Structure 1
């Protein structure tokens, strides 16, 4: 089952614009390795689920996967071959809004090579350019 909110304040929202870089959620917080977005965009709920399956199949119980994004924005769509007008369409699917610098997924309990291979499989399924980042040492 794809991710979606349990309840929302508004059923339909406007499209909006993605401006600037991520100021929150841009550091590796839970794992040792992170997958960071390099460009802005939307990631659908079923894409997040496909990435989760690809990553968990690769690590096979060795490491732990953390998902740092959640699809909380509804995207509406009109039925095919419908004339213009008659208002906005019904909610079709849910997306997560991604700014450049956002950490999408994190891994812990695996080495550098395993994390690189795992995130390469995940990156293939994503519509954005991403890169592998390591956790920064805090003093």
Structure 2
């Protein structure tokens, strides 16, 4: 499971999301990618489930590169 390396407290405050990012949506490498359509916090389990689903339906021998890390533990 993914989690932040160092945090002062185990649980964090919720905070708020301030809208959608319009820049940074191009793929840096690879042919396929996932794009969020609305602002939302993703948990480590959700990211892992998406990675497993992509690997299950992709051809054998392909690597999935994921650059998303959960911000909150």
1: distance between equivalents of 2:59 and 2:36? 25
Structure number with bigger Rg: 1
Moved over 6 A (4+): none
2: distance between equivalents of 1:70 and 1:45? 7
Q: How far has the Cα of 1:17 moved from its partner?
A: 0.9
C-alpha RMSD of the superposition: 2.0
2: distance between equivalents of 1:13 and 1:44? 13
Residue in 1 that maps onto 2:40: 41
Residue in 1 that maps onto 2:67: 68
Higher normalized strand content (fraction of residues):
1
**TM-score, normalized by length of structure 2?**
0.75
Q: How far has the Cα of 1:71 moved from its partner?
A: 0.8
Gap runs ≥5 in structure 1: 74-93, 95-139
